[in-house]
Chain A
């Protein structure tokens, strides 16, 4: 009989108990369920993969990474809160199962094969966390460590991707004759790039191709990489690295998590590791190792998680807030922050000309940019993954709210000159970007509620009507719909200031108008 495994124990209880189903099935085998683990009797039950994912999460938080920061809070009823310190910051005791973002987001990245950036000071478990993800994918600790790319200022493209074989370089008559010794890490299912902001800019570009397009190229030879989860680490992602990270590379990162400080109250855990001479990454229980097929299946299941219309509308409304920059464009479609950025014009002067709106209320005034398509897709994937992880079949608004700050962390740039940050109660949001993004989403939802868009959304009604299709719609009906669109535009623009959501509504109405106009022309030609 083996000795106790202090670090390899998995919870026998379901990690996310659900309400008992109406039809009960009592199992006489329960008689022998208890604290004593029986020898294998060939009756091992296949666990659903979401449960396996939760087992992996709880094993990591309980035995591997000491991260007692439950910053992803869920409540299923009233929660106890305390106002603490001079600043009266809220300490919340969540009433439902809550999670540590530093473990959960990387795990969701593993399940969805996306790209995760760890930021935080040295020695806080960034690399260890990435290493664990590699082990979860079935590699040994040694394999993961050897495949890990360590960013350094002299790193060349050949260091990163591979070398041409020296003999071929001398003897080859054409490029096709040169064989490439590809680096082993390109074939890994979990790719780790440590301190990616220390990689020279040219090598970053080669890395961008691998990250963005999933292939590597050396001397016209292509290496197709398998689908993989990516983990990058950076001690300082705000420019403190040796090289400036190229924006396109930064944009490929789907989610950013911060390694929080170690709580000395948990020193006993470290002491135990010292005394037992154990490294948790070497003791990952085999029950939580995922095969490639399992991760494929998890990915497929996550994509099947539904996003209800009500949640999608909230996200649409939120994303609408940020792109509008009224003074940047002469043409309606070009009144965006991206237009201003591309022109290189003085942003301050353009902002000064933009007056009359409530700059405190307009959430768009708080940011320097809008939300890209890639970011929105990442948001949806992570919200689905969060719902899947929690064992539900559709995304709740809270799922979206919890993942949103981590996805937008590197994407939505705050404007430090915005009046919002000048308010004393908002001063902390200058440095706490996650808190600011969560606050931003809450403010957007408050405005959504104030406008009663859940129940009164005429643009949504027109859009749903159009989505039913144009087959069989008469010319008379088409004209009626065109009139309704024009009338709605008239109502919405009468005496109103232009805010982001209104801007997007107007562009949507213009789109619908154009589609009906084209359809009417076609009808008349028949």
Chain B
């Protein structure tokens, strides 16, 4: 059963809603009306009910916007019970209603931002969309403008593992009220300019251990053969078999992008003097890190802030903070 508010709006605009559905069916021949119906029940109804509670006079226009958007998302196979990734369903069902006051004033923008971000995050291997949703929901009461929602969403996307958004997210955080920016970083009592400067200077701030990335593609990992790595300013160019990638990593996560053989050829295999390999251990300045890898064929590459360690005996890349 859908909520009375939603049922009433659908009934009052029955012909119009049916017309829109018929039009969408022509545009998306694969649009499954049963799946659309399920998404109306599961995804649209909660947010219409929430808006109806917060601003009943806006429930009609929000429903119209959500209905059209739902048709498009289900038509693309991105939402509904048959969606390739169910994350978007959860965002509509659980996250969007948290922003009912904002939805009432800018339904297309809010739903569009949340939907596009959910689709993007669900498509980034290594990202943690559930963390993004949880943290954004927690901050919802503090977000009163679409611009703030946009910036907080970007900051939290980076913190949820989308490492290549780091600089953009820091710039977005600067547009937020300091209290909201600090809340987005989970450091409510700190001094924002100080935190910002530290985040800018050290990509590994808050994670001294580094991380391991990649595994055998046969087990759902990224690499078909043990990777080789070279350094660039923005990350590491990885060669695995005939394929090349750009690996961007920091304290929040690691993301793999496509790259070319030319980029690999142009990347540096130099290592700073402070980093050296000693048997099965890496010496970074005064730090010594023992590796659980056979000694002798370990390779290292380093850029300004990270050391990457590879071995022909593993499909994983060890990433260690340099500072």
Contacts and interface: CB of A to CB of B under 8 A. Distances in A.
A288 to B, nearest CB: 20
A30 B69 contact: no
B116 A38 contact: yes
B15 to A, nearest CB: 13
A38 B112 contact: yes
B134 interface: no
Interface string B64-105: 110011001100101000000000000000000000000000
Interface stretch (B51-59, B156-164, B201-209, B292-300): B156-164
A20 interface: yes
A22 B262 CA distance: 9
**Mostly helix, strand, loop or mixed at chain B's interface?**
helix
Nearest to A36: B112
A32 B65 CA distance: 17
Given A1-B108, A33-B120, A37-B112, A20 B260 contact: yes
B182 to A, nearest CB: 19
B234 A31 contact: no
B260 A36 contact: no
B115 interface: yes
A31 B120 contact: yes
Contacts of A1: 61, 64-65, 68, 108
Interface stretch (B5-13, B21-29, B189-197, B280-288): B21-29
A476 interface: no
Given A1-B64, A4-B24, A31-B117, A36 B69 contact: yes
A272 interface: yes
B23 A28 contact: no
Given A22-B266, A38-B116, A32 B73 contact: no
A28 B246 CA distance: 17
Contact of A35 (B68, B72, B150, B153): B72
B101 to A, nearest CB: 17
Interface in A152-174: none
Contacts of B113: 32, 38
Contact of B27 (A4, A38, A41): A4
Interface string A25-67: 0111111111111110100000000000000000000000000
Contacts of B108: 1, 38-39
B306 to A, nearest CB: 16
Contact of B234 (A24, A32, A37): A24
Interface in A282-324: none
Interface string B250-289: 0000000111101100100000000000000000000000
Contacts of A4: 20, 23-24, 27, 68, 72
Which bracket fits the contact residues of A?
Answer: 20 to 34
A41 B109 CA distance: 9
B140 interface: no
B165 interface: yes
Given A1-B64, A4-B24, A36-B73, A26 B116 contact: no
Contact of A39 (B68, B72, B112, B258): B112
Given A4-B27, A4-B68, A39-B106, A33 B116 contact: yes
A3 interface: yes
Contact of B78 (A3, A20, A33, A35): A35
Q: Which of A32, A35, A275 has the most CB of B within 10 A?
A: A32
Contacts of B266: 22
Interface in B130-152: 150
Interface stretch (B38-46, B168-176, B310-318): B168-176
B47 interface: no
Contacts of B72: 4, 35-36
Contacts of A276: 26
B154 interface: yes
Nearest to B234: A24
Contacts of A468: none
Nearest to B28: A4
B119 interface: yes
Contact of A26 (B112, B119, B164, B258): B164
B247 interface: no
B276 to A, nearest CB: 29
A19 interface: yes
B68 A26 contact: no
Given A3-B20, A28-B169, A34 B68 contact: no
Contacts of A22: 262-263, 266
Nearest to B259: A20
A3 to B, nearest CB: 6
Nearest to A38: B112
A28 B165 contact: yes
B109 to A, nearest CB: 5
A263 B316 CA distance: 53
A6 B29 CA distance: 13
A31 B65 contact: no
Nearest to B171: A28
A35 B65 contact: no
Contacts of B259: 20
A43 to B, nearest CB: 11
A28 B68 CA distance: 27
Interface of B: 20, 23-24, 26-27, 61, 64-65, 68-69, 72-73, 76, 78, 106, 108-109, 111-113, 115-117, 119-121, 150, 153-154, 157-158, 162, 164-165, 167-169, 171-172, 234, 246, 248, 257-260, 262-263, 266
18 contacts: A6-B27, A19-B260, A20-B259, A26-B248, A28-B158, A28-B171, A31-B117, A31-B153, A31-B165, A32-B153, A33-B116, A34-B120, A35-B73, A35-B76, A36-B69, A36-B72, A36-B111, A38-B109
What are the 3 tightest A-B residue pairs by CB atom distance, in nearest-first order? A28-B168, A34-B116, A26-B164
